[in-house]
Amino acid sequence: MSMRMDQDLRSLLFVPADAPRRLARATQSGADALVIDLEDSVVWHNKADARAAAAVFLSELAGRDHGPRIFIRINALDSGLADADLDAVMPARPHGIVLPKSRSGMDVQHLAAKLAVQEAENDLPDGSTRILPIVTESGAAIFGLSTYARSSHRLTALAWGAEDLCADIGAEDNRDEHGEWSPPFALVRHLTLFAAAAAGVPAIDTIFADFGDLDGLRHECNRAQADGFAAKLAIHPDQVPLINQHFTPSGETLARAEAIIAAFSAHPDAGVVNIDGRMFDRPHLLRAERILARAARAYQPPPA
């Protein structure tokens, strides 16, 4: 099963739509994507102004050849606000929509239907707007993780979140005394990896809330990258360089991937190849190809 679009995303930086200074700074952060937030970081009475600000921000970035992709986090489908969010931002052509509090693939399908209408009304290419659901923000959502496979061709990744889940299940905290995820949240994190693999899309690790603790972030990035996450959510521009560093393949990783690909190229009919006394099979080849594809995009020169 091959990964779909956006597997080259490493860092996705959340920015409140109603914070103009933070929006301006975010464009210079180096993040691969910005998530302009209309949901949790925007108070109820400021939702309309936030929508308008998001639309203006998108319009100002329109036509750029470089720079971060822009996602909009709308309000949840059952909030009564999602349609107004889409009406405001879709004419400005966001790259994708972040769907909070998604409960299953059916929510992705519901949003996909709304986006199809919005694209038709705004003369956008059909299917061009991606969907990134946050899939673990309630206890009920955990039982829907298996339903994202084949839910929509718009599905670009699966992200998990811990803060809303903590409130939903009544947990006093989601980390143990050592700063590691407590068992219920570690389980949810692992299930997100499996659900993303089943759906054929990358898995995105959740935020690290203590943005001043770069050593803690470094530890979490190391663990996430080793476990199979392709990217991480960020809440502060200072987190972005470290996240990008950890989710960009190292020179050693690239060399190993190139060696695996070269070995299979030399023996195209082989199911297994021997490199320096270690056996590599076809799944290793697929992973090597993904690593080189991600690296090629990650090492693109910055915009002039």
pLDDT in tens, 74-126: 999 999 999 999 999 999 999 999 999 999 999 999 999 999 999 999 999 99
pTM over 0.85: yes
Pairing of strands 158-159, 203-205: parallel
Residue 13 has pLDDT above 90, yes or no: yes
Interval 218-267: pLDDT, tens: 999 999 999 999 999 999 999 999 999 999 877 787 888 888 899 888 88
> Residues 285, 237: one domain?
no
Asked which of 212, 230, 248 is the last residue of a domain, the reply is 248
**Residue 32 lies inside a defined structural domain of this protein:** yes
**Residue 39 lies inside a defined structural domain of this protein:** yes
Q: Pick the closest to residue 208 from 238, 251, 248, 252 (CA basis).
A: 238
**Residue 71 lies inside a defined structural domain of this protein:** yes
Confidence of residue 5 (pLDDT cuts 50, 70, 90): very low
**Residue 3 lies inside a defined structural domain of this protein:** no
> Residues 134, 263: one domain?
no
Task: Count other Cβ atoms within 10 Å, centred on residue 21.
Answer: 7
> Residues 132, 179: one domain?
yes
**Residue 192 lies inside a defined structural domain of this protein:** yes
Asked which of 209, 227, 248 is the last residue of a domain, the reply is 248
> Residues 202, 65: one domain?
yes
Number of alpha carbons in the 13 Å side-chain half-sphere of residue 185: 24
Host domain of residue 273: 252-298
Confidence of residue 3 (pLDDT cuts 50, 70, 90): very low
For the CA atoms of 13, 15, 20, 26, the dihedral, rounded to the nearest 10 degrees, stands at -10
> Residues 234, 270: one domain?
no
**Residue 304 lies inside a defined structural domain of this protein:** no
Domain count of the fold of the chain: 2
- CATH code assigned at 150: 3.20.20.60
> Residues 53, 181: one domain?
yes
> Residues 269, 182: one domain?
no
Confidence of residue 1 (pLDDT cuts 50, 70, 90): very low
**Residue 5 lies inside a defined structural domain of this protein:** no
Residue 304 has pLDDT above 50, yes or no: no
CB-based contact 159:233 (threshold 8 Å): yes
Confidence of residue 280 (pLDDT cuts 50, 70, 90): confident
Confidence of residue 7 (pLDDT cuts 50, 70, 90): low
Confidence of residue 62 (pLDDT cuts 50, 70, 90): confident
Q: What is the 3-class SS of 61-95, one letter each residue?
A: HCCCCCCCEEEEECCCHHHCCHHHHHHHHHHHCCC
Asked which of 248, 267, 282 is the last residue of a domain, the reply is 248
> Residues 37, 173: one domain?
yes
Determine the pLDDT at residue 252: 80
> Residues 260, 174: one domain?
no
Confidence of residue 14 (pLDDT cuts 50, 70, 90): very high
Interval 150-201: pLDDT, tens: 999 999 999 999 999 999 999 999 999 999 999 999 999 999 999 999 999 9
> Residues 244, 269: one domain?
no
> Residues 17, 80: one domain?
yes
> Residues 20, 145: one domain?
yes
Determine the pLDDT at residue 80: 96
**Residue 261 lies inside a defined structural domain of this protein:** yes
Confidence of residue 65 (pLDDT cuts 50, 70, 90): low
